[in-house]
């Protein structure tokens, strides 16, 4: 039991760390460049993003930890976690490209690949643990919303 909790905690910390590191790119532009952009009417207020992402990173970490606990030696667990790791890197890359490089079009291509990778991660997590797959659904929904938002911002600017 202790080993399970430790693995889940490590996975949560990794996700939060990736989110924290990504926030440096976001913070570099959110108060200057981002405020100058035309945004759609459904754009959430800026203060909402940090708490939503924090909750999502925690849910993602719990999901990854649940999968990891099933035994990294198992090919399905490895496959699921490889997909998870790749989508987590794409998640960070999106922030760097959108906010750091100020390139909504390139970020749109990245987020489309990210959305696909999240769907594949959910598929593989479901093979290992239905609970882990379900914990990833809010993340998928939020990134789907972010994809629409990214597209709208690109289109309006």
Determine whether 48 is exposed, middle or buried from the number of CB atoms within 10 Å of its CB (0-12, 13-18, 19+): exposed
pLDDT at 88: 98
**pLDDT tens digit sequence for 20-78:** 999 888 888 888 999 999 999 999 999 999 999 999 999 999 999 999 999 988 999 99
| Exposure string for 78-101, b = 16+ CB within 10 A, e = fewer | bbbbebbeebbebbbbbbbbbbbe
Q: Chain-wide mean pLDDT for the chain?
A: 96
The whole-number pLDDT of residue 76 equals 96
Q: Cβ(153)–Cβ(40) under 8 Å? A: yes
**What is the pLDDT, as a whole number, of residue 16?**
97
User: Given this model, what pLDDT does residue 27 score?
Assistant: 84
Confidence at 98, pLDDT banded by 50, 70, 90? very high
pLDDT at position 57 is 98
> Rounded CA gap, 122 and 132, in Å?
8
Q: Is the pLDDT of residue 134 over 90?
A: yes
End-to-end CA distance of the chain: 52
Least Cα distance to 109 among 122, 124, 93 occurs for 93
Give yes or no for a contact between 96 and 89, defined as CB atoms under 8 angstroms apart.
no
Predicted TM-score of the model (pTM): 0.95
């Amino acid at each position: 039991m202790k080993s399970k909790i430790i693995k889940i905690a490590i996975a949560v910390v990794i996700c939060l760390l990736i989110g924290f590191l990504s926030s440096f790119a976001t913070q570099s532009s959110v108060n200057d460049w981002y405020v100058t952009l035309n945004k759609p009417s459904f754009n959430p207020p800026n203060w909402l993003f940090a708490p939503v992402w924090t909750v999502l990173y925690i849910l993602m970490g719990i999901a990854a930890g649940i999968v990891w606990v099933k035994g990294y030696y198992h090919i399905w667990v490895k496959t699921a976690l490889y997909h998870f790791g790749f989508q987590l890197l794409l998640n960070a890359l999106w922030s760097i490209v959108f906010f750091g490089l100020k390139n909504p079009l390139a970020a749109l291509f990245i987020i489309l690949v990210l959305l696909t990778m999240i769907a594949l991660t959910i598929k593989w997590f479901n093979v290992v643990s239905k609970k882990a797959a379900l914990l990833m659904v809010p993340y998928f929904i939020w990134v789907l919303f972010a994809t629409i938002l990214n597209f709208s911002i690109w289109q309006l600017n």
